[in-house]
Structure 1
Amino acid sequence: MQTQRETTAEAEARAHSDTAGQPIAEIARFLQETFSQRVAALIAGVEDPRQVGRWARGQNAPRFDSEFRLRTAYQVFTYIANCENQHTARAWMMGMNPQLEDDSPIEAIADERFKDVMAAARSFRRGDL
């Protein structure tokens, strides 16, 4: 029998491994399809949403800070989806979160509050919220 901590650790490890193995074009495409091009641009910190489409098509690559934000959003989404499902992960990423001062995880990632978002995801997994 596995403990909840082991299950959580496995979900985190899978999310990390999946994120590290994905080309940035695939991550941009996934976030664009899951949330919209405009929301993916917000996550990435770019003003022109069309830039996300160019990344998704592999026409060019994002700057380091934009790629970091996209990879963070993808990893957190994947972690929640591994623990629950994709519908729950999408709703969790978009919804107000009391641990994030009622910002959504998407807004918190856009504000570079990466560790806060992952802590909120772990709390959600544990059932603290």
Structure 2
Amino acid sequence: MSTTTARPGLRAYEDSLRLPPAEIVAGLRETLGAKLVAYLGGVRETRAVREWAEGTRTPSAETMQRLRTAFYVMALLREREAASTVSSWFQGMNPELGDTAPARVLLEQDLATGGLAVLAAARSFVAFG
């Protein structure tokens, strides 16, 4: 996921739209870990995440949209940062999000507003560190 393009984030965006649900979940799990993906997916068990990644179970449409948004943000950050940094970024207090963790914003807020705010915070982090 550490590719450089002329337009940062374009590959991340395209992948977030085109990849099948199982690959989205597998990519998130690889970088963020199963527990954080379960949190983002609104489930209590990592078994659901494993089943989503295997394609034996499918998240709801709403959950899948949230996971695609999280994947887009994750892939954008992975263009410049290590997996451990990206995972910490999702979980840590973010001053651009009112000191709320991006994962919490994605889970608790409407994607139309929360998703855009998390994406803007990620772009800022990539641009300014």
When the two structures are superposed, what TM-score results if normalisation uses the length of structure 2?
0.81
Whole-Å separation in 2 of the counterparts to 1:49 and 1:89: 19
Relative to structure 1, the CA distance from residue 9 to residue 95 in structure 2 (aligned partners, 3 Å threshold; closer, same or farther) is farther
Contact 1:95 1:104 in 2 (8 A): yes
Q: Does 1:58 align with 2:59?
A: no
Relative to structure 1, the CA distance from residue 126 to residue 33 in structure 2 (aligned partners, 3 Å threshold; closer, same or farther) is closer
Aligned counterpart, 1:100: 97
Number of matched pairs:
122
Deviation at 1:22, TM superposition (A): 1.6
Aligned counterpart, 1:118: 119
Whole-Å separation in 2 of the counterparts to 1:34 and 1:8: 20
Gaps of 5+ in 2: none
Contact 1:78 1:89 in 2 (8 A): no
Over the matched positions of the two proteins, sequence identity in percent amounts to: 37
Higher relative CO (Cα under 8 Å, sequence separation at least 6) belongs to 2
Deviation at 1:42, TM superposition (A): 1.1
1:64-75 counterparts in 2 under 5 A? 64-75=61-72
Aligned counterpart, 1:44: 41
When the two structures are superposed, what TM-score results if normalisation uses the length of structure 1?
0.81
Deviation at 1:30, TM superposition (A): 2.4
Aligned counterpart, 2:23: 26
- Name the larger-Rg structure: 1
RMSD value over aligned CA atoms? 2.2
Deviation at 1:125, TM superposition (A): 2.2
